[in-house]
Amino acid sequence: MLENMQEAINKLQEQMELLMKKVLFLLKKREATETSPEKDESEPIDIPKKDMGRWIFLVAQSHLGKDIAKRENELGCAESVCKILNLSGVKIENYISTMRLFDALEKDDRFYRQGVPILKTLPGDIIISPTGYGQGVGHVGIAGEEDKIFSNNSKTFVFDDHLTKQGWYDYFSKERNFPIFCFRWRA
């Protein structure tokens, strides 16, 4: 019983450390944008590899309701996911094409393609149905908690949680014949 309690305490301490790093990151980011709104001058945060997927999720969650796709509004899903990854400390080119982002993730040793169905993704996983693989324009987002997916909303032009995992599957896979690829940070 004492071992279980110690494990719970250790887990809480790890979560508190991650939360504190997030707060420091957001404070540094706010200070950087107050001095230079167009450029993020904050220092990257050293997040343990095993926590990076959760960190990507937390950064994505903190940007819900914001217009983070500055080059593309209606079709800004790849741009917004790249922005979240870069803000998380995962340096990646700022792609505006889901097909190019997919190719980059396939070649990036920091991520691996999950062989799990979309409903089994974890917060911070990248879900992508790239253009060129189905009928019409593809989409990319970041798995949230429960059934949510964070992505650029083509109607409101903001990053939000308007999609669910089941909704993504029904629309992109069943209706439009897109494959669904899920990428996870390699811990």
Give per-residue pLDDT as tens, 12-68: 667 766 665 665 565 555 545 443 334 444 455 567 677 899 999 999 999 999 999
Average pLDDT on 57-85 reads 91
Q: Would the pLDDT of 177 be above 90?
A: yes
Provide the residue ranges of all domains of the chain, joining segments of one domain with +.
1-38, 47-185
Query: What is the rounded distance in angstroms from the CA atom of residue 100 to the CA atom of residue 123?
Result: 23
Cβ 111 vs Cβ 185: under 8 Å:
yes
Domain 47-185, second-level architecture? Alpha-Beta Complex (3.90)
Average pLDDT value over all residues in the chain: 84
Q: Would the pLDDT of 128 be above 90?
A: yes
